[in-house]
Structures are given as structure tokens and as C-alpha cells.
């Protein structure tokens, strides 16, 4: 590191870094490569981490999650300085975000863009590896009714202009994550017919040209779950990655390509649109893709495990898609953790996309780049183990109003049809609603009144796969510090050097073993003076070793 001097290594009897033959180097590098196959640096895989939660998991716990799963790419939806700063001297590459509500100000003021970059990017460089700045999030979504269409492109240009002034060693690109609804199939069910939505075609032409000018990627969010959720006739098999090319759901394009899953079809719909607009080689990043675990009949851990494991297998296979074969897919899984404050306008499942629960428990088995998901709930501190439930002696004429209030200010998405708590009955529903409100309000005593219908208990009411949560203690911090759990770039480099040295030594020993074995006796005869001494009737060998010769025993 700059500012540090390195003393010359002391000469030892046996050097740890001997001159190795090309064959030894080849063996060692093969071993290194094999050990790195499970690393996320070898594939384009990252995760999204949103913070729309009533009780956030400590950032240092999240850092351990990423480290334990070999995930080194993270996408954020803002640029919280405390969060971004936690990744200093780590291997994690970040995509930070600018919320949609800030686009107007940044679009109309290059100075505002420069100030934003200074505050949210410059101060963290070079210790934090910021690679992308997401300008807005799905700003051309149909549901926004063109609210951000006039400001997104100017904001993109101003932010990229501010980033260009940084002259950072690793160029930082401004991008615009877009929902897949910017695409159209032109009335054809074939991916090769892809084009941009007619109502925003001119805008998309300019946007893509701007991205290409700065060699920035096209970021698109793809949600196969929504295809299944929104269309009752959508073939379920086509939503996952284990379909057959001869199955009824497979799509056979006129160009000879066959699609067995909607992810590849959606991806190539974008590829076709880019081809049609003259950008056949533009890099594509899938900014969001995943599967929820609750709040809908198709949202459950089994389906989520099936989809996400299939996605990871697809990414690591390196086969790409039919229109971009044998190309690495760059994908950010949505999401790392559940968020109980997200809007449920799209559906009750919106709060359940995480591969981890709110408190850091893995929801299901998932092989992430050769590493399973670990549980981190032991690393957090909870509120006291108590719950708010229905008082059966209360005035039931007030129950409906109280439940509605609790659900509107809490999270009752697990109670809907298909949800994990849909089977617990009316009284169970009331208790669940009351407890949700009670926990979100940090177990304040007055948050379990409900006109006399609520009562506090220490008996866990969870039952039959329906969990009544106890929230995290917002005043407690994780006992472990981030500095103890993350490698700095220097220590990581030293560790890699030591690993390589060790592997080189192992390889050398493997190659030299036979030679050592066959030459052992003759070598010892040459290097030793032998004399027979009679001691208790046994022969004794006296060895005289030449200076500079290392003993290997």
C-alpha cells in the first residue's frame, strides 16, 4: 500500500519461493483456477440489497452474508454514505442508485449532478469499488404515466459528465435500470421480433445511443414470476429453467432457436431490439431477477429455490442465450433480504423477494457459486420474546376495524390466499395482524391495545408453518465489526500470494517425489559419512551435512 515500506526478506535456509519450472507453474495455476471456479468473480452474479424495512439488518451482518456466499457484486437503490462506506477495502463491487424523485433536480442542473457525485461517489474512492451509478429505477414504467420520461435522459447525461471528471482508475458508468415493459414483441410471440415499445421508441433510441457513446451497459429487470402471476394461462413450466425443448411450452423461433424458459426469451427480446437499433454488441446487465416466497399462491420457498437454483446453474454454465450463445450473463438476483415496508400495489408478494428473512435466516437451500446459504440470525439481537395476540374476551364487534387498522400499518401479506399463514382462521388472522403492528412499533405497550382486543403473551403463537415474528432490536448493534469480517485489499492480496506460493510448493513436491524417492539412498551416501559404531548391538549412522544444504526431515 502507498506510504508503507517493505523490508527485504531474510534469506532462510530453504527459500519459500524457489525457481519453478513451467510445468510446475502450470499445475499450480490449474489448482488456483479450480479453487476459484466457485468465486463470483468468475461469473456475472450479484444481488440487490434494498432497505425498505421497518427494522434493518445490521450492515456488518450483510457483509458477512456476501462474504460467506462468495458474492462480490451488490446493487443498491440509493447511496447511503454509511452503507457505501462499509465496503471500503473489500472485494465487493457496487452499483449505487439515484431515486426517481431526484431526477428532476439533477436533470436541470449539472451542478446538482456534480454535487451528488462528490457527496456519494468521490468521497468513497478509491477504497470503495463503485462501478455503476443507477440513474433512477424503472423510470419508463407504464404505471408512472410518463412522469420521468423527460428528465431521465438529461439526468443520465449530467451524472455521466460528472463521473467523467473523476478520472478514476476504473471508469464509472451511469446506467438506467429499466423494466422489461420497455420492450414489445410487435404482436409476435417470437423473441427475434423484439423491439422497443412504440410510445417510447424515439426516447429509447436516444437513450441507447447515449449509453453506447459512454460504453455503458443496458440494464433491464426481468421477472418470470410476474409472467406467471399476471396470466392465468401462462405455462408454469416456462417460468423455470428445467423445461424441455420438446415440451408444450417451448417456443420455436423462425431462426431455428428454441426457448425453454421465459428468462431467455425476455433477454433475447432485448437483444433483438438492440440489434434492430444498430447495437448488436451492447453489454446487457439483468439488474433484477428473482422469485418471492410468500404472499401469492405461486410464491413459496419451493418455487423460489427451484427458480433461483436454476438461474444460478444457467449463469455458471456459460451457455448464454440463443441470440448470444456462449456469453457470460451478468445478473443481479433480487433480493438479498425481505423488505416489509415495500408497496404492495404490484402484489402482496412484493415484501418477500429475499433469499434471507428479515433477521438473516436462509429461507431454503441454495448453492450460491459452490457455497450454501448460512444462517446469520445468531448475529443479531431481537426485541424481547413476546407477542401481541387477540384477547378472546374483548368486544368482537370492534374486531374488523382493529384488524384493518393493524394491517394497514403493519404487514399482513402472509395472510392472503396462497400465503404461509392463510390457514390459521379468523382469530389467528387477528392475532397475526395485531402482532405485526406490535412488532413494527418496537413492542410499545400501547401498540397492543386495539380497544381491549389485544393482549401481550410470552407463549409463541406460531403454528403450522405460520411464523409470528419477533422484530430486531433497533437499539442493538451486531457484536462483530466489519473490520473483523472483511479482508482489506492488501490482506486479500497477501493471502492470494501465500496461497499461490503454497500451491507452487505442493506442485513442486508432487513432481519431485519420485526423484527424491529414487535418489534418496544414493544422495545420503554422498552427503553423509557412514561409520558403524557398536552400541547395544545396533548400527548407528553419523551424518555430516554440508553447509547450505537443507534437511527435509
The grid coordinates of residue 340 equal 416489509
- The one catalytic residue among 60, 93, 138, 350: 138
Q: What phi and psi, each to the nearest 5 degrees, are found at residue 451? A: 55, 40
Instruction: Report pLDDT digits (tens) over 313-327.
Output: 999 999 999 999 999
Q: How far apart are CA 64 and CA 61, in angstroms?
A: 5
Tell me the H-state helices in 474-488. 482-485
Among 477, 465, 488, 405, residue whose Cα is nearest residue 441: 405
CA gap 382, 360 in Å, rounded? 12
pTM attached to this predicted model = 0.80
Q: What gap in Å lies between CA 424 and CA 438, rounded to an integer?
A: 19
Residue 454: pLDDT band with limits 50, 70, 90: very high
The residues, ordered by sequence, that sit 6+ positions from 323 with a Cβ below 8 Å of its Cβ are 191, 192, 257, 267, 268, 271, 272, 275
288 is a catalytic site residue: yes
CA-to-CA distance for 483 and 486, rounded, in angstroms? 6
Is 446 part of the annotated catalytic residue set? no
Nearest to 96 by CA among 110, 117, 114: 117
Render pLDDT for 170-211 as a digit per residue (tens, 0 to 9).
Answer: 899 999 999 999 999 988 999 999 999 999 999 999 999 999
Sequence-distant (≥ 6) Cβ neighbours of residue 378 within 8 angstroms: none
**DSSP 8-state symbol, 445:** G
372-427 pLDDT tens trace: 788 887 889 999 999 999 999 999 999 999 999 999 999 999 999 999 999 999 99
C-alpha cell at 10: 531474510
- From first CA to last CA, the distance across the chain in angstroms is 38
Domains in the chain, CATH or no CATH each = 42-380 (3.20.20.80), 387-457 (no CATH)
- The yes-or-no verdict on residue 30 having pLDDT over 80 is no
Active-site option among 60, 101, 127, 288:
288
pLDDT for res 169: 82
Amino acid at each position: 500500500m502507498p506510504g508503507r515500506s517493505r523490508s527485504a526478506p531474510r534469506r532462510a535456509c530453504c527459500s519459500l519461493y524457489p525457481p519453478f519450472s513451467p510445468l510446475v507453474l502450470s499445475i499450480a495455476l490449474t489448482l488456483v483456477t479450480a479453487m476459484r471456479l466457485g468465486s463470483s468473480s468468475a461469473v456475472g452474479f450479484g444481488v440487490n440489497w434494498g432497505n425498505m424495512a421497518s427494522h434493518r439488518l445490521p450492515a456488518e451482518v450483510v457483509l458477512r452474508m456476501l462474504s460467506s456466499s462468495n458474492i462480490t457484486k451488490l446493487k443498491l437503490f440509493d447511496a447511503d454514505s454509511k452503507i457505501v462506506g462499509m465496503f471500503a477495502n473489500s472485494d465487493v463491487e457496487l452499483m449505487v442508485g439515484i431515486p426517481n424523485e431526484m431526477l428532476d433536480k439533477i436533470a436541470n442542473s449539472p451542478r446538482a449532478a456534480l454535487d451528488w457525485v462528490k457527496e456519494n461517489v468521490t468521497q468513497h474512492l478509491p477504497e470503495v469499488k463503485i462501478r455503476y451509478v443507477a440513474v433512477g429505477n424503472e423510470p419508463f414504467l407504464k404505471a408512472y404515466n410518463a412522469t420521468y420520461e423527460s428528465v431521465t435522459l438529461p439526468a443520465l447525461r449530467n451524472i455521466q459528465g460528472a463521473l467523467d471528471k473523476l478520472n478514476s482508475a476504473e471508469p464509472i458508468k451511469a446506467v438506467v435500470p429499466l423494466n422489461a415493459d420497455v420492450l414489445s414483441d410487435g404482436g409476435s410471440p417470437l423473441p427475434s421480433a423484439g423491439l422497443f415499445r412504440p410510445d417510447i421508441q424515439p426516447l429509447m433510441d436516444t437513450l441507447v445511443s447515449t449509453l453506447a457513446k459512454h460504453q455503458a451497459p443496458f440494464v433491464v429487470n426481468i421477472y418470470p414470476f410476474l409472467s406467471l402471476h399476471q396470466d392465468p394461462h401462462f405455462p408454469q413450466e416456462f417460468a423455470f429453467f428445467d423445461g424441455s425443448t420438446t415440451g408444450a411450452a417451448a417456443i420455436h423461433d423462425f431462426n431455428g432457436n428454441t426457448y425453454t424458459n421465459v428468462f431467455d426469451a425476455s433477454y433475447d427480446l432485448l437483444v433483438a431490439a438492440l440489434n434492430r437499433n444498430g447495437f448488436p454488441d451492447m453489454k446487457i446487465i439483468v439488474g433484477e431477477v428473482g422469485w418471492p416466497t410468500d404472499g401469492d399462491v405461486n410464491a413459496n420457498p419451493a418455487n423460489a429455490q427451484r427458480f433461483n437454483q436454476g438461474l444460478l446453474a444457467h449463469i455458471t454454465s456459460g451457455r448464454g442465450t440463443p441470440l448470444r450463445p456462449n456469453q457470460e450473463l451478468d445478473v443481479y438476483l433480487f433480493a438479498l433480504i425481505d423488505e416489509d415496508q415495500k408497496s404492495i400495489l404490484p402484489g402482496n408478494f412484493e415484501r418477500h423477494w429475499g433469499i434471507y428473512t428479515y433477521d438473516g435466516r436462509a429461507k431454503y437451500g441454495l448453492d450460491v457459486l459452490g457455497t450454501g446459504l448460512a444462517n446469520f440470525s445468531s448475529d443479531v439481537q431481537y426485541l424481547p420474546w413476546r407477542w401481541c395476540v387477540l384477547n378472546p374476551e374483548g368486544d368482537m364487534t370492534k374486531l374488523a376495524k382493529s384488524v384493518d387498522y393493524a394491517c394497514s400499518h403493519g404487514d399482513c401479506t402472509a395472510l392472503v390466499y396462497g400465503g404461509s399463514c392463510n390457514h390459521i382462521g379468523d382469530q389467528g388472522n387477528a392475532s397475526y395482524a395485531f402482532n405485526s403492528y406490535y412488532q413494527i412499533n418496537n413492542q410499545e405497550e400501547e401498540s397492543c391495545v386495539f380497544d381491549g382486543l389485544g393482549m401481550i403473551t410470552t407463549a409463541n403463537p406460531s403454528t403450522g408453518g405460520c411464523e409470528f415474528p419477533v422484530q430486531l432490536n433497533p437499539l442493538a448493534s451486531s457484536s462483530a465489526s466489519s473490520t473483523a469480517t472483511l479482508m482489506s485489499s492488501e490482506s486479500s492480496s497477501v493471502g492470494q500470494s501465500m496461497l499461490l506460493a503454497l500451491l507452487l510448493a505442493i506442485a513442486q513436491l508432487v513432481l519431485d517425489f519420485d526423484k527424491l524417492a529414487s535418489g534418496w539412498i544414493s544422495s545420503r551416501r554422498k552427503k553423509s559419512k557412514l561409520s558403524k559404531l557398536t552400541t547395544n548391538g545396533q548400527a548407528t549412522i553419523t551424518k555430516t551435512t554440508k553447509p547450505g544444504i537443507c534437511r527435509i526431515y
